[in-house]
Amino acid sequence: MVAPVGVPKEEREPELITHRAHNGTGGDEHGYDSDGYDRGWSDEDEARFHEAGFDEDPEGDDGGKKAKKILTPEQRKKRRWRRIRRSLYAFVGIFFVLPAIAFAITYLLVDVPSPQEVAAQQGKVVTYFYADGKEMGRDIPADGGNRIHLEPHQVTDTVRHAVYAAEDATFETNSGFDITGIARAAYNQLTGGVGGGSTISQQYIKVATENDEYSYTRKWTELVKSFKMNNEQSKDQIITAYLNTIYFGRGAYGIETAAQAFFGKHAEELNSSESAALAGMIQAPGRSEDLENVQKRWSYVMDQMVNNRWITQQERDSATFPTPIPAEEAKPDSISGPDAYIEGRVKAELEAKGYPEEKVQSGGYKVYTTIDQRAQETAKRSVNEVMDGQPEELRKALVAVDPKTGGVLAYYGGPNEAGVDEVDWGNQQRNPGSSFKPFDLVALLQSGKGLGEVYDGSSPREFGNSTVRNSEDAQCPQCTVAEAMERSINTVFYDIVLNEVGVQAVVDAALSAGIPEDDGGNRPTMANADGNIAIGGGSTVVTPTDMAGAYATFAAGGTQRDTHFVSKLTTADGEVLFDETTPEAVQGEPAFSQDTEENKQIAGNVTESLEPVLTSSELTCADERDCAGKTGTHQYVDPEGNKSVNENAEAWMVGYNPQIATSVWVGTGYNKPIRNADGGLIYGSGLPGELWKTFMDSYLEEMPEAEFEEVEPIGRVPTPPETDDSTPTSEETTTTATTTTTEEPPSSSEEVPTSTEESTPTEDEETDTETDVPGLPTWPGNPGGDDNERWRQETEG
């Protein structure tokens, strides 16, 4: 019996002879009995207790000084191993036994849908609507719902191997899942990456269940069904089922329909190149009309076929990319002509939102676009009217955006006709030239300086090791920023960017206005920007859509709204999946300053600087409506990298009023000189300006008048000239003695052009004379040519 703790030692009853050492079972020198329990507790006992390495029992009375069991080394070792065994049992149970039981239960409960069952759920008609709810057109499945199901013997080895190379090289040997692929998918899930380890069997299950969410539950069920499918069916049956149901684009489900839709032949007739092209489309069928992406995927698949010894290196070297037949030949009842490019942009946008083309098609969704039918018809009519009789090699694009919503009102990326390269020029990156100068001004205004600041606008001027010139060496020795914008004085804007605000400030201003960091295909807009960003040259490239959206930010008083093509998406029965027309969706955010008034000021000051440009260029809007804009021209660069003083390659006009912002581009797309039907050089105020004005006047004719909001000027206010010539008055010269020309140019190689090459424009309008490394690559969509190949080599390694 243990003595009550807390009773003084001298007050306890005497120990019996059976206790402790007297009974032969004894205690030890530490005062513990043979059972390891303390029969009393003194300060000396406590000291010895702690010296022995034991703790007090936290559940004991009297401060926790209750007797505590002492374990021998052997007992402690046994306890430690017992804990290890229990942990191992728990580990095995949690990670092996329970999953095995769950796998077995899931295996018994799930079924694998047949290809016929899957086909019944696919290929529904998708309807597109204009912004007012009127039907724009329908996307009808390529087979019209009458799909041809192939039998295993009809699927050639050529087709199989191309699909294996693209999607699952171990298909013939795996059990429906790939352990390394699963590990890779799990890692991507944990690290926020994309891409998984789905086998062909798993992909078939995903298509069959129409479940493409990124989750462990989906992957688990997918894995079990894939395993069951591989247990119950042969590899021939599985690959045939897969190829009868997978989506390729153009409304084509199944390899037979796809072969007819893209190449006008049966699947059995496909060669290696054609099979590789179709196999490459499986990963992103929504980009099946993006020939650049299709060609890139084709190259990958062909290389994988060589690596797996399904074709020889000699066959690979002699292979050429098989150009698909025109889409309208495959789907004569689909949206065609220029409007087909709208459909392409809509599909890309929906895919980015988590609604890939096959999901939209299988659900028979209704797509409500932002396109205004009257604006779209006006755009097409304006292009046909202005460009009629002009050289056939000229390409053009027109994009109009609603400043109040960011929705695209009109979109013309090209005629999209047979015999003309099917490139959507509204979504191709080009050098914007002087139309990029408003972003230089934004950066200056953000620094607190205004349109009245004076700079040395003489020409030529030296910046580091570079020489910069104005058009015909136009002289403006004491040039206000307002005058420099109106006359597009290159040397002033180089001065502002290199010596005043810095390159990064201009990059930030452009991004804030809505210029995206890349074009959605990982091609950056301002990679490695240098001083040439001042005039929209060098590596500064944008699309007409980008420019329309960014200028819409100026039109909206500094409120930036994302440019988009889809206003609403619903299911076939009207359930709204997302809606971009709600007040929350169109609210936008301040672009240039978090201070509301300052943000409006900056945008308003930019607008004030751009209004006189239209007057000088004779592009003012009809009925004296408030409009503002900027022209831009970019020089032609010959194959040897020399800039031509007598040729231009790109011409822009971008402008707006409070109701619409419109961007127009004219060029060849191949870095060739551009001239009009009369043989004259094309500047921004020429064909692009004429096209812009024709569209704007026609569209605004039926719109109520709207005026730009008046704002306070920022910084120094420009003094109106007293004479018509460009020479500042003596009063102006006296009050603006301080300019930036006395500052040393920065030494940073990032901001200072390095070439000493000079060039001189030959006409009154500005030509943007770059001073960076010669041989500017042509930024595709170039469908081909040496420049395109050089760009690809530079960007891919």
**Active-site residue set:** 167, 434
Helix, strand or coil, per DSSP, at residue 555: helix
Task: Residue 728: count other Cβ atoms within 10 Å of its Cβ.
Answer: 23
For residue 46, give both structure tokens.
């406590």
| Single-letter code of the amino acid located at 583 | P
CA distance 382 to 384: 5
Helix, strand or coil, per DSSP, at residue 401: strand
For residue 51, give both structure tokens.
């010296």
Task: Residue 576: count other Cβ atoms within 10 Å of its Cβ.
Answer: 11
Location of structure tokens 């001004």: 441
**Phi/psi of residue 479, nearest 5 degrees:** -110, 125
CA distance 92 to 86: 10
In contact, 202 and 223? CB cutoff 8 Å: yes
Q: Give Cβ neighbours of residue 98 (< 8 Å, ≥ 6 apart).
A: none
Residue 324 vs residues 161, 618, 626: alpha-carbon distances, Å: 20, 44, 46
Helix, strand or coil, per DSSP, at residue 129: strand
Nearest to 150 by CA among 236, 238, 240: 240
For residue 523, give both structure tokens.
């091609």
CA distance 73 to 89: 24
* Ramachandran category for residue 551: left, alpha or beta (phi over 0 → left; psi -120 to 50 → alpha): alpha
Residue 40 vs residues 16, 50, 51, 269, 793: alpha-carbon distances, Å: 14, 15, 17, 98, 88
For residue 273, give both structure tokens.
């190149």
CA distance 238 to 234: 6
Burial (CB < 10 A; 0-12, 13-18, 19+), residue 83, is exposed
In contact, 79 and 71? CB cutoff 8 Å: yes
What sign has the CA pseudo-torsion 349, 352, 354, 355? positive
Location of structure tokens 């031509």: 644
Task: Residue 43: count other Cβ atoms within 10 Å of its Cβ.
Answer: 7
